[in-house]
Amino acid sequence: MARNISKESLEQKIAKTEKAISKNREQYDRLTAELEELHKKQKAIQSEELLKAIEGSSKSYEEILDFIQGKEERGE
């Protein structure tokens, strides 16, 4: 049999739980925004590394683009 609980006690527990959920939602939103910013920084670093690699490569732009797109090598 379920334990009897007073109306006031139940309302207090509901309020406490709603507050905890709200706090967790705020933390989730903050952490999600932080993660998104970190991913943007990571992508910027990767893009910079890729550009440096392309600049230092003996391959032409077209050859690099074909390779990235998975196309057959030209002239072979």
Residue 73's φ and ψ, nearest 5 degrees, are -70, 145
End-to-end CA distance of the chain: 81
Indicate the pLDDT class of residue 1, thresholds 50, 70 and 90: very low
Check: CB of residue 64 under 8 Å from CB of residue 57: yes
Task: Indicate the pTM of the whole model.
Answer: 0.64
What pLDDT is stored for residue 44 in this prediction? 98
Select the more confidently predicted residue: 1 or 22.
22
What pLDDT is stored for residue 5 in this prediction? 83
d(CA 58, CA 60): 7
